[in-house]
Structure 1
Amino acid sequence: MTNNHNINAKAFFRKYFLVIIFIIILLLLDFFLKPFVKDLYLNDDIKNFKEFSWKYTVFIFTILAGIIIFISRKSITLSAVPLILLGLMIFGIGFYFGLHSLVDNALLLINSKTKNTEINKTYEVIHDKEKKVFWLNNENSIHDKRGSSKN
């Protein structure tokens, strides 16, 4: 009886392997990476990084697509090229929208673990009705253009 259950479990994991991996990745993202990154970085820093980080996701997809094409190059026929391009486009769009947040948070985590020097600045948070203003050295705010360019 237990041998039959082992066969069913193996068949289940083979059939739903990619779904299980995707669920594990989403759980990792929501319960580990997002809270960890939000504790390390200011929300404005995260937004600024995410505006320019699409390049990294596209680069990773390009590498994966190149590996897939290289591995399957012997079995590709000329008539299958349009179907392969369509498949790569669908895979790329799914990869971008499905894993972009994971790539961003993973890169921010790697950045926090590989930093060389740490600069500590003391600031005071003044709560306004609509936003927070960070004051540095009792003279410049972070939002002040003159103060943000000083080092």
Structure 2
Amino acid sequence: MTRSEQTKKLISKPYFILLIILVLLFCLDTFVLKPFIKEHYLDQDLQSFKDFSWRYLLVIAVVIAIVVSICIKATKILQIISVCLYSAFFALWAFRTLLIQILLFTNFQTEKEHIINTYEVINHKEAMVFWMDGGKGNSIHDDNAIELIDKKRKAKGLKSIFEYKNGDKVKVEFKRGIFNVNYLD
């Protein structure tokens, strides 16, 4: 067998198609979804969603397992169980980040309600401290979150958050999607 015949066997059509699909999924995740998610969600909301997203991922894994078992026409119960377990494991772990980001993108596309939170600005310029106190554990301390809120406010023609003085009240408008995750628009 010549070298070119060996190469042709290694690069068969199904493997090549699978490779293209995986590269496209990687590009979608890296260049489209990640920047989009970072542009609209606060880190604390992302972390909160990731903590309970296993429910949605489990449903997706079960659906994938059912579809795969139907596609391969598994007739024996042992085959069905093994296909379901492998499919669920693969969906949950191999594509967890991508699936979470697709769910967050879906959340953004399905606006359910508007939420307006009022925060008190804590601005101590001498100590270089700036954060927003919403009371009841609803404070925003993260610099990235504050900068994202400020960027969204400026885009709407509103006053910059950094122009507020200590003790001033500022309203921040969030939207909530189908998965009950707040986002900035």
TM-score by length of 2: 0.55
Deviations 1:4-55 (A, max 9, x none): xxxx8xx754432112111211111111111111111110100000111111
1:103 shift after superposition: 1.5
SS at match of 2:132: strand
Unpaired runs of at least 5, structure 1 = 1-7, 145-151
Q: Which residue of 1 aligns with 2:29?
A: 29
The 3 A distance-change label for structure 1 pair 141 and 53 is closer
Q: Which residue of 2 aligns with 1:112?
A: 108
Superposition pairs of residues 48-67 of structure 1, within 5 angstroms: 48-67=48-67
User: Higher strand fraction: Structure 1 or Structure 2?
Assistant: 2
Q: Which residue of 1 aligns with 2:133?
A: 135
The 3 A distance-change label for structure 1 pair 15 and 141 is closer
TM-score by length of 1: 0.65
Deviates more, 1:101-110 or 1:118-127: 118-127
SS at match of 2:111: coil
The 3 A distance-change label for structure 1 pair 59 and 132 is farther
CA RMSD, Structure 1 to Structure 2 (Å): 3.3
Cα distance in 1 for partners of 2:136, 2:52 equals 27
Unpaired runs of at least 5, structure 2 = 1-7, 141-185
User: Higher helix fraction: Structure 1 or Structure 2?
Assistant: 1
1:143 shift after superposition: 3.7
Superposition pairs of residues 57-96 of structure 1, within 5 angstroms: 57-73=57-73, 76=75, 78=76, 81-96=77-92
Cα distance in 2 for partners of 1:57, 1:140 equals 30
Matched, 1:16 2:12: no
Aligned residues: 127
Cα distance in 1 for partners of 2:90, 2:44 equals 27
Query: Sequence identity of aligned pairs in percent?
Result: 24
Report if aligned partners of 1:65, 1:88 keep a CA contact under 8 Å in 2.
yes
The 3 A distance-change label for structure 1 pair 47 and 107 is same
